[in-house]
Structure 1
């Protein structure tokens, strides 16, 4: 597991990072002292900018992977964040903050498949939900209940049953055998965990279009996240006003405070705003 390094960190891992940055052409060359200070952060940002990565000064798995020659084609690019800041009319530092805190970091598994989380309780609710005029709600509910008995790991009124990683794709494949449409709707997709059933709300032409885009690259994951903000005027206003508690509650639900999402967002925003490296896109 790659250790994420940032300003203020010290140790052997930082020394190794500094050596890699020097090998990548850091100018001026860094003193290899194991201290992630201003000079190292500046070198990280310069490398990220040159590589097209998010220019946040944080040396996470993506940046460290790029330093060792990893394929960056599916990774989120800095241009997408700059464009989103202009599109939403918010500070670029705020966009950096939400990307840092609200994303999973990476949006794809080693296999190249997008990260997903299959939600069995959503599958149960989607199966029981009338979709068309004339649907028999009672019959749909009975069908969902029957599947909850025969396939409780895939259809269940209660959340849970997670395997994680590639195992979630196995669960999704099994759920598709029960109902492909409801299965894809019942998974959260990509780096920003956007639920499949939001496809129409977010303006995608079809569920298949949404899934195909989520399988393409992290820029598509971020696009779905931006669409989600655009579609919710209250959420958009909270981000624009940097009302972090309100934004975190709307995006993450009532448990946001327990997970300190608002505190993390505010600290990330202040760090990016204070560095002087981002432009105000408002």
Structure 2
């Protein structure tokens, strides 16, 4: 979405008008960004913890589009359509990442339990980054604390919460930062790129709903400059950015291409 402000003329203003009305701020239907509309935007921004400057940028659009709607725990088609509009990205491309990351499953293992995968090698580095020597905690914790990646300790599903809780007894923030969260499996240490002020607020948001997980994903790929690759469906580039250097070994790009082909042909 374009960033717009007082005096702007275009179709985006009609969408702004409709969104303001839905959120309880009556304005005239128009394609011109008027002074009265600017004042309504400022009031909306102030009420939602945004910079109250009357300029409708990404975060203001996000709030305007997603607020004031009936929401459910599970994602619905409108959620993908709205994020696609916000990011100028084909909804099918967003669905593609969701399908590959979750295998088609949802963003929660159970009620109040977002999907997670705990990474012991990340926990090692997260402790070190906080000035804590991980070697002091290895005894009795070798299943959650190790210097190099290995997959042998994964339990999968709700079993990952056993590992997370074990790590939390050592250091809660570092533990939460060392798990990937939600249907898009975003690492907790990426909280700032998701527009969150702390690991704690990031985890809280991941508990809200699948829609909130989708919103954080949008912020993440935009902030981390992955969006252009997803917009252009450059799967190898996006796979490397999102999944890391081992993407080819895991055939992540091929999985993305195959999933997209399924969505785009519907």
TM class by smaller structure: 0.5 to 0.7
Separation in 1, partners of 2:171, 2:231: 39
Which of 144, 164, 169 aligns to 1:154? It is 144
Distance 1:93 1:107, change over 3 A: closer
Q: Which residue of 2 aligns with 1:67?
A: none
Distance 1:103 1:170, change over 3 A: same
Q: Which residue of 1 aligns with 2:102?
A: 103
Q: Which residue of 2 aligns with 1:253?
A: 244
Separation in 2, partners of 1:127, 1:220: 28
Q: Which residue of 2 aligns with 1:188?
A: 180
Which stretches in structure 2 are left out of the alignment for 5+ residues?
1-70
Separation in 1, partners of 2:157, 2:99: 20
Distance 1:181 1:80, change over 3 A: same
1:179 and 2:171 matched: yes
1:264 and 2:255 matched: yes
Q: Which residue of 1 aligns with 2:52?
A: none
Residues 11-90 of structure 1: pairs in structure 2 closer than 5 A: 73-90=72-89
Q: Which residue of 1 aligns with 2:42?
A: none
User: Following TM superposition, by how much is the alpha carbon of 1:111 offset from its aligned partner in structure 2, in angstroms?
Assistant: 4.8
RMSD across aligned positions (CA):
2.0
Q: Which residue of 2 aligns with 1:145?
A: 135
Which of 195, 205, 208 aligns to 2:200? It is 208
Separation in 2, partners of 1:267, 1:153: 35
Separation in 1, partners of 2:113, 2:204: 11
Separation in 2, partners of 1:94, 1:176: 35
User: Per-residue CA shift, 1:107-148, capped at 9, x if unaligned?
Assistant: 112354111111111111011114xxxxxx5xx3xx211112
Q: Which residue of 2 aligns with 1:198?
A: 190
Q: Which residue of 2 aligns with 1:122?
A: 122
User: Following TM superposition, by how much is the alpha carbon of 1:168 offset from its aligned partner in structure 2, in angstroms?
Assistant: 1.1
1:231 and 2:230 matched: no
Which stretches in structure 1 are left out of the alignment for 5+ residues?
1-71, 131-136, 276-282
TM-score by length of 1: 0.63
Number of aligned residue pairs: give it.
193
Preserved contact between residue 192 and residue 225 of structure 1 (Cα < 8 Å):
yes
Separation in 2, partners of 1:177, 1:90: 41
SS in 2 for 1:199: helix
User: Following TM superposition, by how much is the alpha carbon of 1:266 offset from its aligned partner in structure 2, in angstroms?
Assistant: 2.1
Preserved contact between residue 124 and residue 148 of structure 1 (Cα < 8 Å):
no
User: Following TM superposition, by how much is the alpha carbon of 1:150 offset from its aligned partner in structure 2, in angstroms?
Assistant: 4.4
Separation in 2, partners of 1:204, 1:232: 14
Q: Which residue of 2 aligns with 1:244?
A: 235
SS in 1 for 2:96: helix
Distance 1:118 1:102, change over 3 A: closer
Structure 1 outlier segments of 4+, above 3 Å: none
